[in-house]
Structure 1
Amino acid sequence: MIKIYTDAATKGNPGPTGLGFLIVQNQVAIQKTETLKLATNHEGEFAAAIASFSYLKEHYGANETVLFYTDSRLLSDAIGKNYTKHYKSQLADLSKLFEHFNLVITRWIPEKENNGAHNLANQALKRLD
């Protein structure tokens, strides 16, 4: 079982955006960051999720069960309903990545429980200053 925590931090909305994701498996953590020059916070949340699942697809087998944690209510609701009004292409990209894995369970968590990914997103954002 793999756990993924993702987050985005945006300076301005839209603005420079830092993405962070934390992957935990067998008590080993992998931390990754990326940046976007211009995005809204919601676009960043989708981008962080897509980046994390792209990384997983490249580095882990398809038989994995993935627990995906996000503090973005919009993202978790979009995945749960398989619908979003404004981010259809991002949701389609993410859904396609989900298909690679045996099972993906998405959970919304409060921001205070997502400190690892949150700190990584802020570190990435600071690199854009």
Structure 2
Amino acid sequence: MITLYVDAARDVSTGRSSAGAVLIIDKVQKQLKTALRKTVNNHEAEFLAVLWALKQLPSNGNVQIYSDSKIVTDALHKSYAKHYQGLVDEINLQLTPYHLVLINWVPEKENRGAHNLALQALKNANH
């Protein structure tokens, strides 16, 4: 089972966004972070963070995703998001190689690793 914790960070004044992810495969943890394109709001950044993180995974087996974004987890459970359907469709396409996909909402305090990585990437992008 691949375990993925993912989060986004966004600078409201510039629209710059970033993503952080903690990836756990066979009890080995890997920390990832990147700048994302400018976004119109935090929700868009959260969807883009999941999409980016999925592209970092090996494309087989089972995956368990944790996000503190309720809109993202709800949209992925329903395969629908009124304003973000294109991103939901792209994420679902990235998920097709996996046998089992579990998507879980977690409180922010349980997603601090990914959150801190996203903040680090945002700070680096603003310099």
Distance 1:92 1:122 in 2: 26
Distance 1:115 1:126 in 2: 16
Candidates 76, 84, 87, aligned match of 2:84: 87
CA 1:11–1:48: 2 relative to 1, 3 Å: same
Per-residue deviation, residues 26-78 of structure 1 (Å, max 9, x unmatched): 2211111111241121111111111111111xxx242x111100000000000
Alignment of 1:1-129 (within 5 A): 1-12=1-12, 15-39=15-39, 40-56=41-57, 60-62=58-60, 64-129=61-126
Distance 2:90 2:13 in 1: 23
CA 1:61–1:35: 2 relative to 1, 3 Å: closer
Percent of aligned pairs with the same residue? 38
Q: Is contact 1:10-1:16 (8 Å) kept?
A: yes
CA 1:100–1:16: 2 relative to 1, 3 Å: same
TM-score relative to the length of structure 2: 0.93
Distance 1:81 1:13 in 2: 32
TM-score relative to the length of structure 1: 0.92
- 5+ residue gaps, structure 1, are none
Distance 2:88 2:115 in 1: 21
Distance 1:61 1:88 in 2: 23
Distance 1:89 1:35 in 2: 20
- Bigger mean CA offset, 118-127 vs 6-15: 6-15
Distance 1:12 1:122 in 2: 13
How far off is 1:100 after superposition?
A: 1.1
How far off is 1:87 after superposition?
A: 0.4
CA 1:37–1:93: 2 relative to 1, 3 Å: closer
Count of aligned positions: 125
How far off is 1:91 after superposition?
A: 0.3
